[in-house]
């Protein structure tokens, strides 16, 4: 059993952290996004899709939810890729996400990557610092400091 000397992990990216304060919808996602807990948009055909470099904060629809129960024989915990098909999306509420860049601080602004994806910085991923035209600010805030793995709770559309 692990011993947590200072702080337990914040959670698993894509996990809804305050379920009673959240609004979750189910939509079709024909092409999977990079990970659970990233932002997605609604495309012209009414399907969820990955964000693109020309998208704005108004284009963002919600966060991809890591549904429970979920199974994966090939991925480590928190590393699974969302499947295509009907997918849950958080349109209002609280979720644990992975902060991929910067230092997440309580009350801090949340930025979403829309361009120049790189290892550890997926399209739709959450960051605590702006990266020029590669990120956009969304109506969200960090609820506390990130844990040692970069996991942190955000409030979205609250």
CA distances to 21, 132, 134 from 75, rounded to whole Å, are 29, 32, 28
Model confidence at 118: pLDDT above 70: yes
Q: What is the pTM of this model?
A: 0.88
Q: What is the pLDDT of residues 8-47, one digit of tens each?
A: 677 889 999 989 999 999 999 999 999 999 999 999 999 9
Whose CA is closest to 82, among 8, 137, 13?
13
- Residue for token digits 């629809």? 61
């Amino acid at each position: 059993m692990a011993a947590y000397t200072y702080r337990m992990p914040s959670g698993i990216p894509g996990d809804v952290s305050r379920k009673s304060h959240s609004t979750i919808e189910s939509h079709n996602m024909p092409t999977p996004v990079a990970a659970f807990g990233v932002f997605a948009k609604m495309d012209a055909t009414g399907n969820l899709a990955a964000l693109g470099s020309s998208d704005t904060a108004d284009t963002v629809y919600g966060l991809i939810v890591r549904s429970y129960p979920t199974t994966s024989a090939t991925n480590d915990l928190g590393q699974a890729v969302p499947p295509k098909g009907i997918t849950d999306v958080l349109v209002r509420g609280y979720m644990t996400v992975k902060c991929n860049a910067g230092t997440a601080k309580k009350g801090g602004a949340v930025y979403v990557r829309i361009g120049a994806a790189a290892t550890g910085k997926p399209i739709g991923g959450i960051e605590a610092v702006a990266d020029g035209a590669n990120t956009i600010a969304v109506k969200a805030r960090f609820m506390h400091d990130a844990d040692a793995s970069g996991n942190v709770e955000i409030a979205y559309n609250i």
